[in-house]
Amino acid sequence: MDSDIIIRAEGLGKKYVIGHQAETERYLVLRDVLTRKAQGAWRKTADILRGRVIVSGHSFEEFWALKDVSFEVRRGEVLGIIGRNGAGKSTLLKILSRITEPSEGRVSIKGRVASLLEVGTGFHPELTGRENIYLNGAILGMTRAEIKRKFDEIVAFAEVERFLDTPVKRYSSGMHVRLAFAVAAHLEPEILVVDEVLAVGDVEFQKKCLGKMDEVAGHGRTVLFVSHNMQTLSALCSRGLVLSQGKAIADSSMEEAIAAYTVQVATQNSAAPHVLYDDSTGVKSISDSSVVRVEMLDHEMAPKIVLPSCGSVIFRIWIRSRSAIPQGSVILSIRTASGMTLAKFETNPRRIQPLKQAGDHYVDCCIDSLPLMPGQYFVSVGLAHYGVRLIDWKMDIGTMLVAEPSDLTIEMSGYPEGPLVIQHRWVNESAPQTQLAVGPGR
Amino acid sequence: MSENTLSARQHVLILEPGRAERHYWRDIWAYRELFAILAWRDVAVRYKQTVIGAAWAVIRPFLTTVVFTVVFSRLANLPSDGMAPYAIMVFAGMLPWFLFSTVLSEASGSLVGNANLIGKVYFPRIIIPSSSAVVALVDFAVNLAMLFVLMAWYGFPPTWRLALLPAFVVLAVLASLGPALFITALNVKYRDFRFIIPFIVQFGLYASPVGFSSAVVPSAWRFWYSLNPVVGVIDGFRWCLLGGESALYLPGFLLSLGVVALLFWLGVAYFRRTERSFADLI
């Protein structure tokens, strides 16, 4: 084995078994019910005694969250991992940080792995900032002496000097996040696993975090970084690994990886192109409430595939919820292929409450004029407790193709650039009565 | 493959399905600081938002002793062990009983209570239930101090056997950790197993010789009575604390010891077998 290779994964796979209830069957006879219950109880008891995982339901289905993934990471490399929700990123990180065990394959890891799967893990609201630094440090694998040595540095980084002896439950959410990240950032593992932590905090603090990660990588340590932010990824990572449905579809330079990801997002729904996302069978959704289907329609509710620039479109978002969430909201966001968010729309529970009742519902997001330049855009959807936290987030569920405007009064530049079309007019001093010229397109 | 030269320089960790943890116990030792800090957290949190704090650890055994002394000694006219005052005998039995029941209830809910840690960070999972047992030891220390006050009040001096008390404390902890590990592991998947605990605690208080001496059990039954592991623990505590007044019934004690060892082994074995899937289930 090359001594510079710090992680080597060979044929890694992780299988989950999902149970399905046989809903179509109706128990009519008490005897049937009793036999079934007895059989189930017997099977469960046997499984418990064998120490096996028991799956409830009548039929089982195997689901590979990760299948046959092999890669190598060298010392000092920053590997970016990209993929849509459910592609297997988190499962991969969980295996590497020993939280869960692979179902097949083998990984060899040289050195200490510290994972920042979620900052602030183990923070206790009743304890003070000082106490939580020690607690969190120990949980992340630091020794007491190590924490003591870095204590002042951590406090300075988090900017919480004045609140050190205040219980964390009185902290603002910003302070909470800063303190949590500060502890994690001062770990000195050989391998650092980071998952989406940069999504939190203000811009100033995010910059600080990026700097810290750069520094970590600069000291010859290895970083595995999962993010949806293509700009951050291409700025930080030297290599990219693209996962799709549990398989690695690209392992290359970051630019190529981003390109591969873009192609993959663009080509995933060829059968029904107006359906951006469909999981109405509910295999992937484990959470209580989630988006199960997203389709694009025109104003007559007919499928729409290509959207003309400045034309109208309706996004129909289907939600499945097992409980009522009156303060729940539905979110739709649009990003460029390079990962810049252009717009984010969210329902306001003061006006509509799409999750007011449990069950399957849909909401329509109607856009009368889509002010986007022709090109490819990524759509993400989610559910949230309005203004509090996300319940479900499905990143880049599909691509939306924007075509040339059908309305010929819209002017385009001879060489179009930038993602936005903003209705405008030119005024010429010498000819004040200038009429809107009919643009030639490109 | 030059893996040997590599591991000589730096520890290489291999992750494979079903790979038995070869360094299981050494791994736990490496995480001893986490054990200490989690135990400290549980203790700190327990007393942080209470008005009278440690007084709770005093009130409960005090009232129970009063009630049991009145009911079993005055009303039921049960004899004490030798010449020992009845209240002291009850208290000496209650010490291990409260230690046992607190460890059992704290440890069996601990994994589910720390679900966020288990899903996010690796460490030997057994640290969580065992560190939560430390809270019970703190309460125990308070109770033990109370017993000494009580003994001074009655003018009942301890003997040299008191020096053996730590061994019996360990025995009490082992007796409760065994079932607790089993139940907490089951509780990860089946939350209904936590309902067993209040039942064991309530029923066990009367099934175990807390309010009375185990000498009142008919001699034909005494050996089989010791199948309850707590019987051996309580007898041991009384033998230790009451000086020559409480005789240790050796065959029964050995049986209890065997049951404790068996339950502990079963608990640890089941816990080790299932702990790898905790993160997937919790």
pLDDT in tens, A219-261: 778 888 887 777 778 888 889 999 988 888 888 888 888 888 8
| Mean pLDDT score, B139-147 | 90
Q: Which of these ranges, A95-99, A330-334, A433-437, B204-208, has the smallest mean pLDDT?
A: A433-437
**Co-location of A219 and A343 in the same domain:** no
* Residues of B contacting chain A (CB within 8 angstroms): 1-3, 6, 10-19, 33-34, 37-38, 41, 44-45, 48-49, 116-123, 186, 189, 270, 273-274, 276-277, 279-281
pLDDT-based confidence at residue A2 (cuts at 50, 70, 90): low
- The confidence band for B7, taking pLDDT boundaries of 50, 70 and 90, is very low
Q: Does the structure show a pLDDT above 80 at B259?
A: yes
**CB neighbours (10 Å) of residue A72?**
16
Q: Which residue type occupies A391?
A: I
Partner residue opposite A131 with nearest CB, options B3, B19, B44: B44
- Asked if residue A198 and residue A90 are part of one domain, the reply reads yes
CATH code assigned at A154: 3.40.50.300
Mean pLDDT of A149-164: 90
Residues A34 and A143 in one domain: no
User: Residue B257 and residue B263: Cα distance in Å, rounded?
Assistant: 10
Same domain, A169 and A89: yes
How many angstroms separate the CA of residue A287 from the nearest CA in chain B?
13
In this structure, of A36-40, A49-53, A219-223, the range with the lowest mean pLDDT score is A49-53
CA distance A6 to chain B (A): 9
**What average pLDDT does range B131-147 have in this prediction?**
90
* End position of a domain, from candidates A371, A388, A403: A403
Mean pLDDT of A275-283: 71
Question: Is there a domain that residue A411 lies in?
Answer: no
Q: Which domain holds residue A136?
A: 67-265
Per-residue pLDDT averaged across A407-413, rounded? 74
pLDDT-wise least confident of A22-36, A168-182, A300-314: A22-36
Q: Is the complex ipTM higher than 0.85? A: no
Residues A20 and A123 in one domain: no
Q: Which of A353, A350, A351, A345 is nearest to A328 (CA)?
A: A353
| pLDDT band, very low/low/confident/very high, at B167 (cuts 50, 70, 90) | very high
Is residue A238 domain-shared with residue A325, that is, in the same domain? Answer: no
> A258 and A148: one domain?
yes
Which is higher by pLDDT, B50 or A101?
Answer: A101
Tokens (6 digits) for A182: 């500060």
Range of lowest pLDDT (B11-20, B93-102, B110-119): B11-20
Residues in CB range of A372: below 8 A, 6 or more apart: A309, A334, A342, A402, A419, A420, A421
Whether A58 and A202 share a structural domain: no
A197 domain-assigned:
yes
Alpha carbon B66 to chain centroid, angstroms: 24
Q: What is the mean pLDDT of chain A?
A: 80
Asked which of A369, A385, A403 is the last residue of a domain, the reply is A403
Residue A429 maps to a domain: no
Are A352 and A397 contained in the same domain? yes
Task: List the single residue in A with minimal CA-CA distance to B186.
Answer: A48
Q: What is the pLDDT of residue B20?
A: 53
* pLDDT at residue B230 greater than cutoff 80: yes
Q: What is the mean pLDDT of residues A145-169?
A: 90
CATH (domain of A283): 2.70.50.60
Final residue belonging to a domain, choices A403, A421, A436: A403
Q: What is the mean pLDDT of chain B?
A: 85
Contact A126 B49 (CB under 8 A): yes
What's chain A look like in SS3?
CCCCEEEEEEEEEEEEEEEECCCCCCCCCHHHHHHHHHHHHHHHHHHHHHCCCCCCCCEEEEEEEEEEEEEEEECCCEEEEECCCCCCHHHHHHHHCCCCCCCEEEEEEECCEEEECCCCCCCCCCCEHHHHHHHHHHHCCCCHHHHHHHHHHHHHHHCCHHHCCCEHHHCCHHHHHHHHHHHHHCCCCCEEEEECHHHCCCHHHHHHHHHHHHHHHHCCCEEEEECCCHHHHHHHCCEEEEEECCEEEEEEEHHHHHHHHHHHHHCCCCCCCCEEEECCCCCCCCCCEEEEEEEEECCCCCECCEEECCCCEEEEEEEEECCCCCCEEEEEEEEECCCCEEEEEECCCCCCCCCCCCEEEEEEEEECCCCECCEEEEEEEEEEECCCEEEEEEEEEEEEEEECCCCCCCCCCCCCCCCECCCCCCCECCECCCCCCCCCCC
pLDDT of residue A437: 54
Low-confidence winner among A40-49, A278-287, B27-36, B53-62 (lowest mean pLDDT): A278-287
Checking if the pLDDT of A114 tops 60, the result is yes
If asked whether residues A291 and A234 sit together in one domain, one would say no
Tens digit of each residue's pLDDT (9 = 90 or more) over B236-245: 999 988 877 7
Average pLDDT estimate for B34-63: 82
* Percent share of chain A, pLDDT over 90: 14
Predicted confidence (pLDDT) at residue B6 exceeds the cutoff of 50: no
pLDDT tier, A197 (very low <50, low <70, confident <90, very high otherwise) = low
Residue B8 has pLDDT above 50, yes or no: no
Domain count, chain A: 3
Q: Is the pLDDT of residue A442 over 50?
A: no
Mean pLDDT calculated for residue range A117-124: 73
Q: Is pLDDT of A268 > 70? A: no
Question: Would an 8 Å CB–CB cutoff place A43 in contact with chain B?
Answer: no
The helices-and-strands tally (H runs, E runs) of chain B is 14, 1
The pLDDT value given to residue A258: 84
A106 strand-pairing partners: A10
User: Considering only alpha carbons, which residue of chain B is nearest residue A104?
Assistant: B17
Which one of A51, A95, A144 has the shortest CB-CB distance to B274?
Answer: A51
Specify whether A209 is located in the same domain as A315: no
Residue at A5 is within a domain: no
Closest Cβ opposite residue B44 in set A1, A16, A127: A127
pLDDT of res. A286: 54
Percent of chain A residues past pLDDT 70, beyond the cut: 81
**A104 plus A247 within the same structural domain:** yes
